[in-house]
Amino acid sequence: MNTPPGRDPERLGAAPGDVKPLREAPPIGVQHAQAERLLKAWKTPQGWRYWSAVNNSQVGLWYTAAAFAFFLFGGILALLMRTQLAVPGNDFLSADFYNQIFTLHGSVMMFLFAVPLFEAFSIFLLPQMLGARDLPFPRLSAFGFWSFLLGGTFVCGSLFFNAAPQGGWFMYPPLSSQYQPGIGNDIWLLGLSFIELAAIAAAVEIIVGVLKTRSPGMRINLMPLYAWYILVVAGMILFAFPPLIAGDILLELERLLHWPFFDPDRGGDPLLWQHLFWIFGHPEVYIVFLPAIALVAMMVPTFARTPMVGYGWIVLAAVGTGFLSFGLWVHHMFTTGLPGISLALFSAASEAVAIPTGVQLFCFIATLLAGRVVRSVPLLFVFGGLAVFVLGGLTGVMVALVPFDFQAHDTYFIVAHLHYVLVGGAVFPVIAGFYYFFPLVGGKKLSDRLGRITFWLLFIGFNVTFLPMHLSGLLGMPRRVFTYAPNLGFDGLNLISSIGAFILAAGFAVFVWDVLRPKGKQPYAQRNPWGAGTLEWTAEMPDKPWGIRSIPEIDGRYPLWDQPNILRDIDEGRFYLPDAEEGKRETLITTSVDAQPIQCLRVPGPTWLTLFAALFTGGLFIFATFHLWWVAVASGVLAFAIIIAWLWTGTALIPEKEEKNVGLGLRLPLYRSGPESVGWWAMFITMLADMTAFAGLVFGYFFYWTIHDDFPPDPSPAPSLFGLMLLGAVLLLGSWGLTVLVRRWNQGDRRAAFYGGLPVAVALAVAGGATLLAGPWHAGLDPVSHVYPAMVWLLVLWTVLHVAVGVIMQGYCLAQRLAGRMTARYDIEIRNVTLYWHFVALTVAITVAVIAGFPLVA
């Protein structure tokens, strides 16, 4: 077992700059003492305090369980739909309730299962694969999880009050804005926006995790393929989710305050929603697909007993798909009457994306052919998934052709296509992943026998359900209908689909039983039960909470195959950080390309702050849905206070010493700031997402310009706007410039300049924000009257909100320095705040250029 396939250890050992493990193991007594200190530092809280844990193993597990529970809920909704559609003219469900059910089915599967499950798996697996003890921001993961759980429960729970959203998972206005006045669509908009924020938080965590927490020596050409895929997916989230958040803001403003973004009578246009939704919605498909295929990329080499063939080609596929997937969104809008040339552009890109998608499948096949395949349940699911996915991919190429799509649009053919893609491309690989990675959870395997039963029930059930839908779609059966007339040729096909759905459900029932059945008498699996080559399988069975006993030096892509004795060396603490002398949780930070160690990062431990922060942030959204404004505001204030407490007590702490010996003769700093710190990168990445949302709003402005002759109106309804906007910009850019100076003064320890400059920067920002607000206010622009004033107000409010947050940050730095928690040397806060202000300056410049400048050139 674990034979190094085709590798020459001598060659690997000779790599320049390479570090060898300790030649002699520390004495047994020392090893025990080290292990004890590590266990104490990483101890999982017991009893009811268990829920205050923030470690990636716990949060990842909860996340997975919650996402899977939502999946089962979504599945039950699907069964209700199939029961209703089994026979023509059925009255099992009312039309109204059916609308709620199909809306929730789609929304739950996409927002509460597919995306969160990838976050969950990543939080759980990524540190293990990279040889890190935890991700760099464990509390952020925990906050994201609690937000997700709360938001998801809220959205799903609405069904039991007959108050669920009914607008379809894509929520098209004007149906969702003018014809569905109930609370359901607000629940969708606010509840899911809240979850989208959690997804962005996870993306930040994952990007920084992949780039900065790899084991020393795990160069960019050696990192596990899973990490490549996840890096791409997290990057996609940054650019895909924010446009939807921008759209949510527009739609909620229309529903709540009657700002007419999608109302044609007052200059709005429902098509803008479709653009914003699908700029999110199409990349979303790949955000779901790539992490699942990433699991396949980890399993295939294990069972082929050989390294992946075409590692570089797979990286090409992941990165290439990530980009191309953003050029596909209009293929959901082929029938909206856009010019033929626009359709053609998107059709061309939709065909092009088939290339990288195909490349990775060929790599998998080549690897399986090159190796000696070992039969296993996970591999069975991989094969089944690939077969189903290829069929879905082929119908995808069909519907990417405009003329065919005109015929198939909004029919069951599309339902069949998307389920083949998502179930084949995501659900089957995920189930394979469950079977494969399950031993990492409790140290025990799932049953092979039950696994095979599950597979055949799922595979047969799935095809019986969805294959006939191609036909019923081609025969003309529309989507999203709660019933149909008899004798149109749909009857038999629908009955077959419904029978298939219950076979499929039986498969999931067997699977759930396999996961939940008591395994007390079953022996623990042996370590590395599948004979894999990657680091996550260094875990003991059952695993210890420390993640990894000592952080190894990596020499190849499959360390367990390539590096002899690596398990022994890790276990005996012959590598980095084998101890926790100060009783703190620590992991290594390395450079992003070559993974050279540059810092020993202390990560925070258990806390209730994240749970309560999520609870009250959720309260802000949830109470606002019910128009309980004061309660919502109170909840928001509490959330704000808790988040400040969290930052104050838990982030950028000044260490008791400058450096620390991390083992193997290496001393690393405990504190780094600016672009060398993980927090700076987190801020940078977050602000990229923020700017993307802003770009979505600006896109809206120019969208209205293209469809109207008088947008912006000429002559301007507000001549005074120009001067006030310009003045506001000058003040705000002044505040930004001063913030940059203050950062330097702090660095030079010029206390007087620091304490004098920062309050002036605050004052300038407050004055600038007020001046921006005064612009449309003084001009008497009424956002309800027409889309132009609404757009101006929206851009101004967005900018002022960012200024307000910037002011809080400036105040925070002032307080930190006063309290002695920030100094000239330990200056993470002011560095990050300055970075934030760079983005605020950009936002201000664009807003003012658009509002005051564009009418001059239009």
Partner 1 sequence: MQGGLTMERVAEKNENLWLMVVSPGIWAAHFLLCYSTTAVWCAKVVGRDGPLGEARMAIAIYTVLALAGIGIVGWIAARRQSYGSETVPQAFDTPGERHRFLGFVTLLLSALSAVATAYVGLTALFIQTCH
Q: Which positions touch partner 1 (CB under 8 A)?
A: 11-12, 15-18, 217, 219-222, 307, 310-313, 315-316, 319-320, 322-324, 326-327, 339-342, 344-345, 347-349, 351-352, 355-356, 554-557, 592-594, 706-707
Q: Which two tokens stand for residue 812?
A: 């925070």
Q: Mapping DSSP to helix (H, G, I), strand (E, B) and coil, where does residue 601 land?
A: strand
At its nearest, how many Å lie between partner 1 and the CB of residue 311? Answer: 6
Closest residue by Cα to residue 123 from 111, 113, 109, 136: 136
Whichever of 20 and 49 has its CB closer to partner 1, that residue is: 20
Q: Which two tokens stand for residue 273?
A: 């929603």
Whichever of 297 and 779 has its CB closer to partner 1, that residue is: 297
At its nearest, how many Å lie between partner 1 and the CB of residue 319? Answer: 6
Q: Mapping DSSP to helix (H, G, I), strand (E, B) and coil, where does residue 597 land?
A: strand
Sign of CA dihedral 644, 649, 655, 661: negative
Task: Give the integer Cα–Cα distance in Å for 458 and 468.
Answer: 16
Report yes or no: 63 and 123 within 8 Å, Cβ to Cβ.
yes
Task: Give the integer Cα–Cα distance in Å for 677 and 834.
Answer: 14
Task: Give the integer Cα–Cα distance in Å for 149 and 554.
Answer: 37
Q: Which two tokens stand for residue 2?
A: 């674990």
Whichever of 309 and 682 has its CB closer to partner 1, that residue is: 309
- Whether residue 715 has a cis bond before it, omega within 30° of 0: yes
**Residues contacting residue 705 through CB under 8 Å, at least 6 positions apart:** 711, 712, 854, 858
Task: Give the integer Cα–Cα distance in Å for 273 and 254.
Answer: 12
Whichever of 533 and 605 has its CB closer to partner 1, that residue is: 533
Report yes or no: 717 and 787 within 8 Å, Cβ to Cβ.
no
Whichever of 351 and 540 has its CB closer to partner 1, that residue is: 351
Burial class (CB in 10 A: 0-12, 13-18, 19+), 174: middle
Whichever of 416 and 554 has its CB closer to partner 1, that residue is: 554
Whichever of 319 and 453 has its CB closer to partner 1, that residue is: 319
| Residue 563 DSSP one-character state | S
Whichever of 15 and 641 has its CB closer to partner 1, that residue is: 15
Report yes or no: 562 and 647 within 8 Å, Cβ to Cβ.
no
At its nearest, how many Å lie between partner 1 and the CB of residue 476? Answer: 27
Q: Which two tokens stand for residue 348?
A: 């061309």
Residues in the chain: 858
Whichever of 81 and 318 has its CB closer to partner 1, that residue is: 318
- The structure tokens 């000044």 sit at 654
At its nearest, how many Å lie between partner 1 and the CB of residue 211? Answer: 8
Whichever of 595 and 844 has its CB closer to partner 1, that residue is: 595
At its nearest, how many Å lie between partner 1 and the CB of residue 339? Answer: 4
At its nearest, how many Å lie between partner 1 and the CB of residue 348? Answer: 4
At its nearest, how many Å lie between partner 1 and the CB of residue 561? Answer: 11
Task: Give the integer Cα–Cα distance in Å for 260 and 796.
Answer: 17
Whichever of 349 and 781 has its CB closer to partner 1, that residue is: 349
Burial 228-267 (b: 16+ CB within 10 A, else e): bbbbbbbbbbbbbbbbbbbbbbbbbbbbeeebbbbbeebb
Task: Give the integer Cα–Cα distance in Å for 784 and 777.
Answer: 13
At its nearest, how many Å lie between partner 1 and the CB of residue 709? Answer: 9
Whichever of 222 and 493 has its CB closer to partner 1, that residue is: 222
At its nearest, how many Å lie between partner 1 and the CB of residue 165? Answer: 31
At its nearest, how many Å lie between partner 1 and the CB of residue 855? Answer: 15
Sign of CA dihedral 709, 711, 712, 718: positive
At its nearest, how many Å lie between partner 1 and the CB of residue 837? Answer: 24
Whichever of 139 and 305 has its CB closer to partner 1, that residue is: 305
Whichever of 242 and 500 has its CB closer to partner 1, that residue is: 242
Task: Give the integer Cα–Cα distance in Å for 57 and 443.
Answer: 13
**Residues contacting residue 572 through CB under 8 Å, at least 6 positions apart:** 25, 26, 31, 550
At its nearest, how many Å lie between partner 1 and the CB of residue 105? Answer: 32
**Residues contacting residue 101 through CB under 8 Å, at least 6 positions apart:** 77, 80, 81, 93, 159, 164
Q: 597-602 and 586-590 as β-strands: parallel, antiparallel, unpaired?
A: antiparallel
**Residues contacting residue 104 through CB under 8 Å, at least 6 positions apart:** 74, 77, 155, 156, 159, 164, 165
Closest residue by Cα to residue 739 from 821, 837, 816: 837
**Residues contacting residue 107 through CB under 8 Å, at least 6 positions apart:** 155, 165, 169, 188, 192
At its nearest, how many Å lie between partner 1 and the CB of residue 4? Answer: 12
Q: Which two tokens stand for residue 723?
A: 């001067």
At its nearest, how many Å lie between partner 1 and the CB of residue 178? Answer: 25
Using CA atoms, how far residue 263 sits from 251, 377, 791, in Å, is 10, 53, 13
At its nearest, how many Å lie between partner 1 and the CB of residue 357? Answer: 11
At its nearest, how many Å lie between partner 1 and the CB of residue 557? Answer: 5
Question: Three-state SS across 184-216?
Answer: HHHHHHHHHHHHHHHHHHHHHHHHHHHHHCCCC
Whichever of 435 and 558 has its CB closer to partner 1, that residue is: 558
Whichever of 207 and 501 has its CB closer to partner 1, that residue is: 207
At its nearest, how many Å lie between partner 1 and the CB of residue 345? Answer: 6
Whichever of 355 and 760 has its CB closer to partner 1, that residue is: 355
Q: Mapping DSSP to helix (H, G, I), strand (E, B) and coil, where does residue 313 land?
A: helix
At its nearest, how many Å lie between partner 1 and the CB of residue 325? Answer: 11
Whichever of 25 and 338 has its CB closer to partner 1, that residue is: 338
Task: Give the integer Cα–Cα distance in Å for 784 and 793.
Answer: 10
Report yes or no: 141 and 205 within 8 Å, Cβ to Cβ.
yes
